[in-house]
Amino acid sequence: MTRALDRLVRASVAIGMRVQPRKAFRQADQTLYASAVSREMVEAMRSAGQRLMATGVAVNGMTVIGWRRSESRIGLTIPGADLLQLGPSQLTSVASSTVVGTTGHDRVVSVVASGAAAAVWAHPPVLLALAASSRIPMGGPSELRERVGRIGFDGGGLDITVVADEGVLAIGDDPVGAVARLEAAERLAVIEREASR
């Protein structure tokens, strides 16, 4: 009787996955991120989101934070996620081979699938204003320059990739590290803007 019940439950789950795969995957993600195993990562994501909003380099609902969960899965904030109250229901997972398009989510998935541990897509205002005039911050204190790493316009192998009129992609060892790198780049942009006045 137990085996028959087990088979029936498994068959129902399999049918649910075929009929409503997005809903089933969403429920699985919510269960995963609400578990004690993922608590540390959810806290790191929440901390990164709050830090982005506190420093003014993010637009709530348009910013994407992602990290490598495993070789085959990438964890992401969902579109429209509230960074100030980030929780398990606002996180999702995608296959690391799922890369289509040029949205912020797509860019984060692409860079994490390529080997980065974590990435953030945000909209730092001063850095984007410099990019609109085809400039990126080149000067500034060496400590900030080291924290920023390699910065440039849309291209590979950079720690900070500026996509003019769209946003900025920063990578790091974890979500908080990617945010710290993005903050440092915005500070360099402010320094450069002030120096050119």
Per-residue pLDDT at 34: 64
Give yes or no: residues 72 and 139 share one domain: yes
If asked whether residues 175 and 99 sit together in one domain, one would say yes
Residues 5 and 50 in one domain: no
- When pLDDT is averaged across residues 166-192 and rounded to a whole number, the result is 93
93-104 pLDDT, tens digit per residue, is 888 875 666 788
The total domain count for the chain is 2
Whether this prediction's pTM lies above 0.85 is answered by: no
Q: Are residues 139 and 172 in the same domain?
A: yes
Residues 110 and 161 reside in one and the same domain:
yes
Q: How far apart are CA 62 and CA 166, in angstroms?
A: 11
What is the residue range of 25's domain? 1-34
Instruction: Please say whether the beta carbons of 146 and 102 come within 8 A.
Output: no
Q: How far apart are CA 61 and CA 38, in angstroms?
A: 23
Q: What is the arithmetic mean of pLDDT over 73-88? A: 86
CATH number at residue 150: 3.40.225.10
